[in-house]
Chain A
Amino acid sequence: MDTLQARQLVIDIPGRTGGSPLNLTVEAGQVWGVLGPNGAGKTTLLHTLAGLRLPREGEVRLGEYPLTEVRRRSVAQQLGLVFQDRQDGFPATVLETALIGRHPWLSLWQMESGDDLNRAEAALKALDVVHLKDRLVSTLSGGERQRVAIATVLTQNPDTWLLDEPTNHLDLHHQVAVMQLLKQQAEAGRAIFMCLHDLNLAARWCDHLLLLFPNGEACWGHASQMLVPSALESLYNQKLITVEADGAPVFVPAKG
């Protein structure tokens, strides 16, 4: 599998001058979490890693090649992205939405086959939205739309998954279900790289973490090394209380 690699990467945030260059490799089987306060550049980083934005310095490599030299279609076969914001300009059903995940795999003249349809339905089933498949996406709740978006990337079936706040709008049960699904994908040999707001989800499910500070400084490594209360407190500028539950640390914001 081709790994995603950031080399001396500085993302382009308007008005930010400094920042430490990122040097990291997202390998098969790993689950990465990106933590940072609002405006730290988590989404920009994700879009830069997906090649949707150019970095200020450094480069992103997909396998042996710089991302900019790989054809968009070939990138889309290897790299999938769940966006935080989605626009629904035209009405589309849930099944149609999941099916567009097959786009990078079909040639110009190909129509979607029964196999593509099966993959889309299986993905919708895995995200527990298959009963909504004929509904218009615009009529769904926020959490249901989020699951449809994740199902679209599951249909796309890339080796590397980039996800921007995949648990947004999800209820507790579906948060766990989605994290479990991502963990399974990693165990099946895919690489997962996601931005998260919920420190505890990250602590529970991620094996690698990247902490992104508002001034552009960053540190990354094994989750066990990164989950240091003092570092997290300075990251969020918020005092934390650490307790242990179910074998993992749980961070609770302190009052006042």
Chain B
Amino acid sequence: MPAFDAFRPLALLALAGLGAMVLSVSVGSAGLSLADTLAALTGSGSELNRTLVLELRLPRTLAAFATGGLLAVAGALMQVLLRNPLADPYVLGLSGGAAVGALLSMLAGVAGVIVTASAFGGALLSTLMVFGLAHGTGSWTPTRLLLTGVVVAAGWGAIITLLLALAPTRELPGMLYWLMGDVAYAGSPWPAFVLLVLACLLVIPAGRSLNVLARGPLQAAALGVNVRPMEWTIYIGASLLTATAVTTAGSIGFVGLVVPHMLRLVLGNDQRIILPACALGGGALLVLVDTLARVVISPEQLPVGVITALLGVPTFLYLLYRSR
């Protein structure tokens, strides 16, 4: 595809992302006009508005964008790896592993960075388990990998229920919110953001190899791709992205499934375009969904994971129904 045509959809998605972010910081219990919002963002306007926009809403919006982008890119990478559009970090049990890690550390009474590290460990452990077990003696067959992921995810689900049953009552609300996925408690959005940008930059040189890998490992090897190292890189990379997303905003499901699927329908399947598009589109989607979650039963807030699941489940079922 000529470079010019390729970048037009990316530019459009970037504009959509910016628009979503401006909307997100202007909407809320105290609504701001567009002019007020832009004034606050550029550092003028009233003190109150600046605090509201820059200190309260903007970090949350950025965290939502980075989380959505990371999940969508991780999902798209796993789909290439498994050559199956149903692969998703949530479906494959990565999010479940991260959740168990985080809950365990919360139960142990620690907070902050240790919860993050623990969730990260859980996600990586889950990936290793799923890929190790599905590998067995032969090679990774996509169906076997997907099934292993689903079963491992179910196992994590049971452990999560057990942990919730054992948890003292005062810990429950925080744990539940974390499980449902909520950007309200997001810490600094920057680690996730930096990782997202790095991932997009790395994808540009790797994109054509990913395109070839999507045709199957034998065909890729015949066209000069070092298949095994490439597969391991994707799988560790996707775990890293997922773990960072999960530790930023809890386990938000189905973004990694819905966004790549929608974008592929429109843009085709050139990874050099799809992966950056997923970063932008996933970010924009999660910012919008989070805005919706804040206003739909305002002043109460819904966890954002509820809405993504409500969108994602029908999409997943539709994909499954359409596939052979």
What is A's interface to B at a CB cutoff of 8 Å? Answer: 47, 50-52, 72-77, 79-81, 83, 86-93, 96-97, 100-101, 103-104, 106, 108-109, 111-112, 156
B206: chain A residues at CB < 8 Å are: 108
Contact A80 B83 (CB under 8 A): no
Q: Which of B208, B218, B222, B226 has the most CB of A within 10 A?
A: B222
CB of B135 closer than 8 Å to a CB of A: no
Closest beta carbon of chain A to B256's beta carbon, Å: 16
Contact B221 A101 (CB under 8 A): no
Complex Cα gap A108–B225 (Å) = 11
Interchain CB contact (< 8 A) of A72 among B214, B226, B272: B226
Closest beta carbon of chain A to B214's beta carbon, Å: 5
Contact A52 B215 (CB under 8 A): no
| In the complex, residue of chain B having the shortest beta-carbon distance to the beta carbon of A114 | B2
Contact A87 B224 (CB under 8 A): no
Contact A72 B84 (CB under 8 A): no
What is B's interface to A at a CB cutoff of 8 Å? Answer: 1, 3, 83-85, 142, 204-206, 208-209, 211-212, 214-216, 218-219, 221-226, 264, 268-270, 272
Contact B223 A91 (CB under 8 A): no
Contact A86 B219 (CB under 8 A): yes
Interchain CB contact (< 8 A) of A109 among B205, B212, B223, B264: B205
Contact A103 B223 (CB under 8 A): yes
Closest beta carbon of chain A to B44's beta carbon, Å: 42
Contact B223 A83 (CB under 8 A): no
A111: chain B residues at CB < 8 Å are: 3, 272
Contact B268 A103 (CB under 8 A): no
| In the complex, residue of chain A having the shortest beta-carbon distance to the beta carbon of B222 | A81
Complex Cα gap A52–B223 (Å) = 11
Given A96-B268, A109-B204, A111-B3, decide whether A89 and B222 contact each other with a Cβ distance below 8 A.
no
A-B contact pairs, 23 of them (CB 8 A): A47-B218, A52-B221, A72-B226, A81-B222, A83-B222, A86-B216, A87-B215, A89-B83, A89-B84, A89-B215, A90-B269, A91-B264, A91-B268, A92-B268, A93-B268, A97-B215, A100-B211, A100-B215, A100-B223, A103-B211, A108-B205, A108-B208, A111-B3
Closest beta carbon of chain A to B211's beta carbon, Å: 7
Per CB-CB distance, the 9 closest pairs between chain A and chain B, nearest first, are: A76-B224, A89-B83, A73-B224, A104-B224, A108-B205, A81-B222, A87-B216, A90-B269, A103-B223
Q: Which of B142, B208, B209 has the most CB of A within 10 A?
A: B208
Closest beta carbon of chain B to A65's beta carbon, Å: 16
